[in-house]
Amino acid sequence: MCRPWPALALLALLVAYGALASPALEAHPPPETEPPRPRPEAQAVAEPRAYLLYLDYDRDPIVVDAYREEEGEIVFEKYGGRIKIPKAQVLQIVPDRPDLPPGLRPRAPIPPLLSEGFSATRRRAAASHYLSLRSGGNLKVSEVRPEGGRLRVILDEGSFTIPASEVAGILRLPADGEGWPEAWLVVKREGERAAPPPPPLAASPPAAEPLPAEPQAARGGEPRRAPRDEWPAPPPILAAAPPEPVPAPAAAPDGAPGRTPADEWSAPAAPVAPTDAAEAALPQAAPEPPPTPVPDPPIAPLPAPAAASAAPPPFTVAALPPQAPPEPPKAERVLPAVSSSTKPHLLEMASGDTIKVKGFWIEEGQLKFRRFGGMVGIALSEVLKLVPEEPEPSGERIPARLVRLLGPTLLEVRVKGEARRVRLLGIQALAGLDRAREPWLGLQRGDVLQLEFDREREAGEVWLAYVFLASGRMLNAELVRLGLARPAVDPRALKYVDLFHELGGRPTQP
């Protein structure tokens, strides 16, 4: 007979084990099953963070957030502004995408985001044109278009026109695989000639060309005009006057041939050598008397002019056109002798305007200066005068009182109760000028002056200085500007040498 207690014991053991395992299962639940990953082809590609623009003339790309194409140009925002680059200058545009997992990275390189006609590695070269000018120069351009009698030359930066007569030839090199090179030569067409210039005054008439005896009649019945008839009639030609008859020389009283008035001026009196017959006729014993001066025979009067009614004049003088009134004398241009300066100047134009510049330099026949962050060039023919402004005080001046004027460039002053003679430095007074003119006229005894020295202060007992008036103007510079003095070559005067040169031109050696 089977006993039931072992089965009951096994059942109780299983119940106890289940009660102990239930808290552990609640604390540590089983992990959930992960969903399957989508395939790489199903995931959408992220938007690029930026775009890299590679140009054909630069290695480093330009990083932009976005761009668009407008009329053959790549337009994007950069540095707070809008920038346009011709599409022909862009080699490649590569998008910059975020880092992707290894399984999602593209295997092939990303193609450039350009329209058709541009390769991923190299832009196809466009056709090139070369212009050969008659002056000897050659130009590489993008395109050449005819416009009447001129040619428009198109470059990447813009375009300009030149006369077709200045171009000797054009060579076109096509792009790769687009055909053969082509060349054009600009030659003079057959039968083309310019209008004949009017014949010069007092010149022989041109030889007449043989014309047909009977010109063909036009459709209207009028005779056809020859090509020579189309030319304008030349102005009347002044025929050369025939030489006037020379009057025959009048016979002298002794039968010798007479002397013409021309002989009286052109033929000098030559001494007559004695002949052997004359020496034999003279008495040998008698001493030779001293020669006595023989007066020249009187000049025969010129024959009276012929009557006016004898013959008509051989030629007719055409009335000359009225001469234009003489042009007023142009104002003399006072330009500096130096080619550049960094000091302020006043620029007086021929139009009457005045421009203040902080410095200038002369290059290629133009006076150039900087203005508004750029450069401005003015032709020298438009510049009437260039005057420097007053020099700034150097802080090395001493006050003095004027005592008297001793000469055009010599003063006597009193410095701290001591009398001193001061000579104006760097200039030389012109002789024959009146000292009663400005600026000497404005100087009076007791005026306060300012003395400024250069490399050397004294030359013996005389001071060498630049004298400044109470108005702030330099007396040395005023004398040069008014034409009362000129710059002098002095190695001791170097501080204001450019100022004197610009005011008075190049100095002369003393």
C-alpha span between 282 and 289 (Å, rounded): 11
Torsion of CA 369, 373, 374, 376, to 10 degrees: -40
For residue 503, with 0-12 CB atoms within 10 Å meaning exposed, 13-18 middle and 19 or more buried, which class applies?
buried
Global pTM reads 0.28
Strands 128-133, 167-173: pairing kind: antiparallel
Q: What is the pLDDT of residue 96?
A: 79
- Report whether pLDDT(34) > 90: no
What would the two tokens of residue 341 be? 């300066």
- DSSP notation for 42-80: GSPPPPPSEEEEEETT-SSPEEES--EEETTEEEEEETT
C-alpha span between 240 and 203 (Å, rounded): 9
Peptide bond into 235 cis (omega under 30): no
Q: Give the lowest-confidence range in 73-82, 163-172, 360-369, 388-397.
A: 388-397
Contact 369, 357 (CB under 8 A): yes
One-letter amino acid of 346 = L
- Report whether pLDDT(508) > 80: no
Average pLDDT over residues 34-55: 66
Q: Which domains does the chain have, with CATH numbers?
A: 47-124 (no CATH), 128-185 (2.30.30), 340-388 (2.30.30.100), 397-504 (2.40.50.90)
Handedness of CA 387, 390, 392, 398 (dihedral sign): positive
CA distances from 352 to 278, 331, 355, 433 (A): 87, 12, 10, 30
pLDDT in tens, 346-357: 888 888 888 888
Average pLDDT over residues 235-244: 51
Residue indicated by tokens 């241009």:
333
Q: How confident is the model at residue 412 (pLDDT cuts 50, 70, 90)?
A: very high
Closest CA to 94 of 33, 52, 41, 156: 52
C-alpha span between 438 and 431 (Å, rounded): 16
Q: What is the pLDDT of residue 468?
A: 92
Q: How confident is the model at residue 200 (pLDDT cuts 50, 70, 90)?
A: very low
CA distances from 145 to 71, 149, 468, 494 (A): 21, 11, 65, 59
Q: Give the lowest-confidence range in 318-332, 402-416, 472-486.
A: 318-332
Q: What percent of the chain has pLDDT over 90?
A: 5
What would the two tokens of residue 73 be? 């140009």
Choose between 8 and 41: higher pLDDT: 8
- Report whether pLDDT(230) > 80: no
Q: How confident is the model at residue 265 (pLDDT cuts 50, 70, 90)?
A: very low
Q: What is the pLDDT of residue 191?
A: 52
- Report whether pLDDT(269) > 60: no
- DSSP notation for 322-335: PPPPPPPPPPPPB-
**What is the pLDDT of the chain when averaged over all its residues?**
68
- Report whether pLDDT(150) > 70: yes
CB atoms within 10 A of CB 88: 17
